Amino acid sequence: MFSKWWHYALALIVSLGVVGTALAGLAAALIYPNLPPLEALTDYKPKLPLRVYTADGALISEFGEERRAFIAIDKVPAYMKQAIIAAEDERFYTHGGVDTLGVLRAAGSNLLSGGAKEGASTITMQVARNFFLSNEKTFTRKLSEAMLAMKIEHNLSKDKILELYINQIYLGQRAYGFEAAARTYFGKPMRDLSLAEFAMLAGLPKAPSRYNPVVNFPRAKARQEYVLGRMRTLKFIDQPTWQAAVKQKLVIRQTRRQTDVSADYVAEMVRQTLFEKYGESIYSSGYKVVTTLQRTQQDAANRAVWQGIADYDLRHGYRGPENQVRLPADKAQRETAIASVLEGLAPVSDMQPAVVVSATPKLIRAQLQDGTGADITGDSLKWVANWAAGKKGRQLAPGAVVRVQAVGSKPLWRLAQLPEVEAAIIALNPNDGAITALVGGFDFSRNKFNRVTQAWRQPGSSFKPFIYSAALEKGYTPATLIENAPLSLSAEEAGGTAWEPQNYDGSTSGPVRMRTALTKSLNLVSVRILQGIGPHYARDYIRRFGFDPARHPPYLTMALGAGGVTPLQLAAAYGVFANGGYSVKPYLIDKVYDKDGRLLMQASPQQVGDKAPRVIDPRNAWLMTNMMQDVVRYGTAARAGQLGRSDLAGKTGTTNDARDTWFAGYNPDLVAISWVGYDQPRSLGRRETGAQSALPIWMNFMGAALKGVPQKGWAMPAGIITVKIDPSTGTRLPDTVLDGLLNDLLGNDAPGMVEHFYQEFPPPDVPEANWDDADPGTPIQPTAPGLLP
């Protein structure tokens, strides 16, 4: 009976096998002809994001739904390939697309476990699924996957299949492919990874979300050790190598930021430009953009803006916590409450959100998002002393939602606050217009408005050099004497309302030289200069610097910068002085490459001495620079002397009620403009000036940007003479035998002792003067047309 039963069972199994094989064959016959063509594999075009770089190769940003970085199979390290094969498909190089032994092993394992706990997908089958099929778990899809895998194996080499897998597979954190994952999780290219890091990545394809080391490191570590064990079993590595890899401490890149330098405003400018030219394809075509930015300068600009805003806030006091929440007495509930309130708050710059858990006049203790504490003591409490002590109705109580910053390497913590004020900086090379640094505001994620390119603000006294330059062309000289006395202007002269301009400090005096007026930024003299040359002439003249005359009405208020400029426009204009009189157009994008490295676009900048047009006389540019060097040495920007350089020139700018503060400065190879103000214009406060708020930002930037750069002055052009003058009258002093000793002692740049003049005046409407025959004791300059007493 038993023998008969066994024969029946065997017959049933054979029959089922025959029927199953027939059905599978029938299904294969029906499915195979309808399998998709393999052009997507043979002509593989991954969706590569747009990447933006600095001129020296630092990644600024990438744009695209998928974070990818294609790598050819011959560039993939051997350990990476072995780790993938060990983790996913140990017989990859021997099977024909479907691993029969793997299928039988998985079937047996699933039968014993009572469920589908183990799969048998080969690397080729995963390629088939990723490119052509869905993830639905049906017999038809699985059969299609197997047959498509065999079709792929018949048409592509093993290395090509592995290359497709390595570049296409999803590995979490928006990273597709192992090269992108290496940069995402470890912050470096695949070629720089260790065996331990290779194994960590190789463990991800099984379940990217489950084994993500950012989300759950212990689980990812366990998976990594499994992969290393398989590599040892397959004799890819020996026992000592395995031990060293298991023990290696891994540093996972926790931050979501995947860039090398912060330049979000620049990245957005590039994205907009390329979108206008190429459209939606920029997000998947793998374009590489090389900008003119310099990484060190961009880093310096970021730090300068952040520090400048922090210093401003320190001067004006702590405004109070962002929010106040109730902290339960129960410890577990308290932790839940703190985690809940901090969950929706993102760090801004280096300001971390935190909740105050205890506060006394000598110690504020706050808890960060990761549960660690930040103790704020000592000098860090000074600017919040009133809040810590509960004075004037202010109090920092437990439950206060605040911002904290780590200062130094220890670190020491200080209480910070999200700023209301904004700042911006732009730097460019005046010889070709290349933008080397640009920060459009405190934080791009908070406000995407680019204050360098989009904010039209009054330039204040930083506009005076352009009026003075126009005056030089009208016959004025740096030694021209102009009254610094009170002045009343009619509504017609002032543009609609009667106006009595005043100097910043309210002072007046007798006549002063034009050089002194610029050095001390005397408003009364500047208005008189504009009155002398004529507002309409000045408005026409400033076209040479790239200003829009429509934004500068021809009234005497133009002398004090009542028109409208952007920081970028002002930087290009100051570049004319810096480069000796040429107009160069600022540019940001240097080169654009396609995914294969072919050059699609290349900038053709205007360069001094080549394509750049001359817009002012070289003598004019040199004299203006020479006067603005005095601004930096002895005038409103004398603080810049702390940089210890003699090749700097510039001008402060402060508008009415200090709504905008500026510093515009340069050396022969770098122009930088810094600005501070509120987006909705309002006063920055008492004693806030360009020298107080904008100049320190400029100094911090230039100090870093010019570190180690040799000093380089401006050579005096032909057509200028230098004579000794009486500093109080501007008249030429007689030559004496002591002149040589005086020049050796004081130098030709000693304040007030010498002056520089045009040897001849080029404009035809200005009388010529015979400088060489000027009599001692007479003014060295002719009376300028329209000069007021």
- Catalytic residue list: 88, 461
- How far apart CA 437 and CA 305 sit, in angstroms, is 12
**Segment holding 444, helix H or strand E:** none
The pairing of strands 50-53 and 288-291 is parallel
Q: Give the full edge-to-edge strand order of the sheet including 660-667.
A: 435-439, 422-428, 670-677, 660-667, 649-654
What residues contact 442, with CB distance under 8 A and at least 6 apart? 305, 306, 309, 348, 349, 419, 422, 423
Listed residue (265, 274, 145, 135) closest to 207, CA to CA: 135
Place of tokens 């060190």: 296
Looking only at Cα atoms, what is the longest distance across the chain?
Answer: 143
The partner residues of 732 in beta bridges, in order of sequence, read 725
Q: Specify whether the CB–CB gap between 118 and 110 falls below 8 A.
A: yes
SS (H, E, C) 651-684: EEEECHHHCEEEEEEEECCEEEEEEEECCCCCCC
Q: Structure tokens of 296?
A: 């060190």
**Segment holding 267, helix H or strand E:** helix 264-278
- How far apart CA 675 and CA 561 sit, in angstroms, is 14
What residues contact 488, with CB distance under 8 A and at least 6 apart? 498, 499, 500
- How far apart CA 198 and CA 248 sit, in angstroms, is 12
For residues 719-757, b (16+ Cβ closer than 10 Å) or e, as one string? Answer: ebeebbbbbeebbbbeeeeeeeeeeeeeeeeeebbbbbb
Secondary structure (DSSP) of 343-404: HT---BTTBEEEEEEEE-SSEEEEEETTS-EEEEEGGGGGGGHHHHHTGGG----TTEEEEE
Task: Taking each helix axis as running N to C, give the angle between helix 195-202 and helix 239-247, from 0 to 180 degrees, rounded to the nearest 10.
Answer: 80
- How far apart CA 622 and CA 612 sit, in angstroms, is 18
3-state DSSP call for residue 1?
A: coil
Q: What angle do CA 616, 621, 626 make, to 5 degrees?
A: 165
